[in-house]
């Protein structure tokens, strides 16, 4: 792409950024606020946001709370989660209030996830929204969030931890939370955030896609990392371990969306992915080009989509569908 092409692409991105910024100022019409309809039916709408003590997770929690959902701020570090919940409460002006609580959760620890699920079932009888960082029957928002590389770095030293958190942690939360999703007439939403060319092509083919195939791709990548021959095997060339985990989550989203697509009316769950963009957070070393508030927007938008606009098994950025 030449200089003019890059400038044109940059202008298109800025134009879309301005459009989305405007859209965030447009309030939802009363008939679009499905969560209010459930509240009037005495069904408290509960949104769980993991990794909510900072960055995109914090922003997703804050925005959902300001829209009127009851938000559970979940964080590996309990103290930081409590502080985040207090910050959200303190932001609301005057006599207004938001409904927020905090809870400790480590998605890499099966026992922690199990304990959290038991607490959610006992305390709230289930949940409607899960934003697992970084709907009617339930909404699940999941996005990858661990990356140890900064700038031009591309080390795979922590590949196992990245994969464990971003991919297996996501699967663990989905398995634990789907049984807790509360039925409603509006349908659930799940929003989630390859190298080997043959595997990649199979992962892009819905007819071939399976959990075993995704796990095979992850296993092959980690084996090649240990053997130090991953650079010559067509894996992504930037932030390789993080990118592989994202590709796995994207494929898993499509697989689960297909599995959940035949749910009966009143128990439907819509599952999608979103890309927050290059966000100014600790994970990027504050080198991004948009704020965490902007980065969280598409995930929150997907979570709150009116029933008539619900979509399934898609990938979004800046409130627009993009290709996987």
- Annotated active-site positions, please? 242
First-to-last C-alpha distance (Å) of the chain: 22
Calculate helix-pair angle for 292-304, 55-66, nearest 10 degrees. 50
Token digits of residue 66: 């300001």
Nearest of 17, 100, 5 to residue 320 by alpha carbon: 17
Calculate helix-pair angle for 3-23, 292-304, nearest 10 degrees. 60
Token digits of residue 168: 């297996």
E strands in 184-291: 188-192, 269-274
Nearest of 127, 319, 166 to residue 251 by alpha carbon: 166
Distance CA 120, CA 173 (A): 12
Total residues belonging to the chain? 324
Pairing of strands 139-142, 46-50: unpaired
How large is the C-alpha radius of gyration of the chain? 19
Distance CA 242, CA 163 (A): 7
Looking at 70-207, list the stretches that DSSP marks H as alpha helix, in order from N- to C-terminal side: 78-91, 110-124, 159-163, 169-177, 197-203
Token digits of residue 24: 């965030």
């Amino acid at each position: 792409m030449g200089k003019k092409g890059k400038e044109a692409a940059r202008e298109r991105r800025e134009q879309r950024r301005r459009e989305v910024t405007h859209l965030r100022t447009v309030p939802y019409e009363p008939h679009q606020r499905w969560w209010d309809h459930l509240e009037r039916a005495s069904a408290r709408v509960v949104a769980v946001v993991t990794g909510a003590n900072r960055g995109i997770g914090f922003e997703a929690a804050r925005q959902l709370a300001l829209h009127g959902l009851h938000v559970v701020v979940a964080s590996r570090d309990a103290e930081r989660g409590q502080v985040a919940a207090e910050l959200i409460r303190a932001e609301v002006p005057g006599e207004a209030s938001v409904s927020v609580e905090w809870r400790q959760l480590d998605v890499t620890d099966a026992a922690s996830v199990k304990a959290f699920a038991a607490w959610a079932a006992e305390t709230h009888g289930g949940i409607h929204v899960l934003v697992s960082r970084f709907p009617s029957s339930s909404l699940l928002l999941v996005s990858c969030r661990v990356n140890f590389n900064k700038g031009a770095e591309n080390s795979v030293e922590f590949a196992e931890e990245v994969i464990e958190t971003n991919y297996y942690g996501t699967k663990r939360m989905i398995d634990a939370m789907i049984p807790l999703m509360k039925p409603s007439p509006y349908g659930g939403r799940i929003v989630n955030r390859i190298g080997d060319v043959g595997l990649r092509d199979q992962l892009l083919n819905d007819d071939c896609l399976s959990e075993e195939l995704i796990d095979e791709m992850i296993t092959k990548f980690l084996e090649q990392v240990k053997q130090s021959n991953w650079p010559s095997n067509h894996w992504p060339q930037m932030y390789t371990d993080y990118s592989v985990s994202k590709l796995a989550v994207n494929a898993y989203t499509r697989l689960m969306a297909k599995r959940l697509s035949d749910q009966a009316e009143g128990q439907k769950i819509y599952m999608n992915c979103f890309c927050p963009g290059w966000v100014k957070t600790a994970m990027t070393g504050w080198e991004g080009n948009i704020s965490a508030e902007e980065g969280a927007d598409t995930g929150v938008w997907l979570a709150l989509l009116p029933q008539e606009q619900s979509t399934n098994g898609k990938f979004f950025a800046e409130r627009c569908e993009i290709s996987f």
